[in-house]
Structure 1
């Protein structure tokens, strides 16, 4: 069976915990070999995207689901179900979308996630229970991060998560990142001239302005980048 692979990490913490993108891809490829399936394209990857986001807000997931919808793949495979979603309502919406398009969903640790069957209500209950615990785990992680940020802010440090494109945190302060500032300025220039988000992606890649966490630009990443003006309090970078 021809499948499309999807992998995701939202933070560097997942890399440190041993379930980064490379590990997920290795698991997916090994599982496909063992089960006799093939991957139609390079595995789609969302780096720096929360599992609470719906499919349209995750560029790689949207692309992977389009492969199923267009009939280019018979289904989607992930390392674990929580790579697909970290919120129950999001999980169920993504599964429903795949099944609506006659696709199938597999995980490397469980095998196929079977569709709901009125004759087997426990199947649905167990899947949704897993989604609830995944959502709870995510909420607890967020709570710990907020507590850590509050403590860091009390001590006078930068406490706002990953800096947006164009900036970096240095010694607890936010400073401009020169290489990324060039890409940011070019994107704003193109947008002001009326370019679409997809056109900006193509131009940034052609002019060799690399994205921060991926091998190519996505419209959603450009949109988020353009939303940020000079954030927080900046100090000039000293050379």
Structure 2
């Protein structure tokens, strides 16, 4: 039986890793014959737009130490959201003789596997993961710009997750937490009441923020 590692990542502390843990563990058991108690689990609650993540670094160090023969991730975007980082990750795992299994896309990259279709699909998925991240950032910038042109902005308080400085709308320290919580509410995975409690604000503020999703790159 091959030793297996699972890697799971979400963007903020408020988000849960449970779904990814279940997905990767079930795949490892069903497809790789791994025992649940023998799996090595690596976790991150951080952005995927770079590799400066403790869980990711621990994963790669463990791969270099030959602690496992396969890594399972839920989707391409969970391990990297940059095509450059994704290709470097795959290359390093290959050098260490470690296979990369991607559950959602049904893709496996194995050492010394020259299947051109698998390689092309892997690169294409990486391109889309990076594009998605870039589009979300662009939507946020456009939302901020549109908000600053609105007369109400200049005379009212800054929206949830933002601060005003010298007439400019800037992301506050809790901006990414706000985005994560609003996204959960938008998907009916969290109530407005619980969202307000998590963000230490009121339900009306949550409601107003949901009417301005363009500000948060969620439209």
Class of the TM-score when normalised by the shorter of the 2 chains:
0.5 to 0.7
Q: Does structure 1 residue 23 correspond to structure 2 residue 24?
A: no
Give the TM-score taking structure 1 as reference length: 0.57
Q: Does structure 1 residue 34 correspond to structure 2 residue 30?
A: yes
Q: CA deviation at 1:73?
A: 1.5
Please give the secondary structure, in 2, of the residue aligned with 1:71.
coil
Q: Which residue of 1 aligns with 2:43?
A: 45
Change (3 A) 1:162 1:51: farther
* Structure 1 segments unaligned to the other structure (5+ residues): 170-239
5 Å-filtered alignment, 1:211-222, equals none
Please give the secondary structure, in 1, of the residue aligned with 2:44.
strand
RMSD: 2.7
Does the CA-based 8 Å contact 1:4-1:67 persist in structure 2? no
* Structure 2 segments unaligned to the other structure (5+ residues): 164-168, 179-219
Q: CA deviation at 1:132?
A: 0.9
Does the CA-based 8 Å contact 1:7-1:21 persist in structure 2? yes
Once the two structures are superposed, residues 117-162 of structure 1 have per-residue CA deviations (whole angstroms, 9 ceiling, x without a partner) of: 55x3333222111111111111111111222334556625125446
Q: CA deviation at 1:112?
A: 2.2
Q: Does structure 1 residue 107 correspond to structure 2 residue 102?
A: yes
Does the CA-based 8 Å contact 2:109-2:118 persist in structure 1? no
Give the TM-score taking structure 2 as reference length: 0.62
Q: Does structure 1 residue 3 correspond to structure 2 residue 4?
A: yes
Quick one: higher RCO (CA 8 Å, sep 6+), 1 or 2? 2
Please give the secondary structure, in 1, of the residue aligned with 2:97.
coil
Please give the secondary structure, in 2, of the residue aligned with 1:134.
helix
Aligned residues: 157
Please give the secondary structure, in 1, of the residue aligned with 2:21.
helix
Q: Which residue of 1 aligns with 2:173?
A: 163
Does the CA-based 8 Å contact 2:100-2:108 persist in structure 1? yes
Q: Which runs of 4+ in 1 moved over 6 A?
A: none
Which of 148, 172, 191 does residue 143 from structure 2 map onto?
148
Does the CA-based 8 Å contact 1:88-1:132 persist in structure 2? yes
5 Å-filtered alignment, 1:60-139, equals 60-109=55-104, 110-115=106-111, 117-118=113-114, 120-139=115-134
Q: CA deviation at 1:111?
A: 4.8
Change (3 A) 1:12 1:70: closer
In 2: Cα distance, 1:12 partner to 1:145 partner: 20
Does the CA-based 8 Å contact 1:87-1:134 persist in structure 2? yes
Change (3 A) 1:143 1:12: farther
In 1: Cα distance, 2:81 partner to 2:92 partner: 16
In 2: Cα distance, 1:7 partner to 1:123 partner: 22
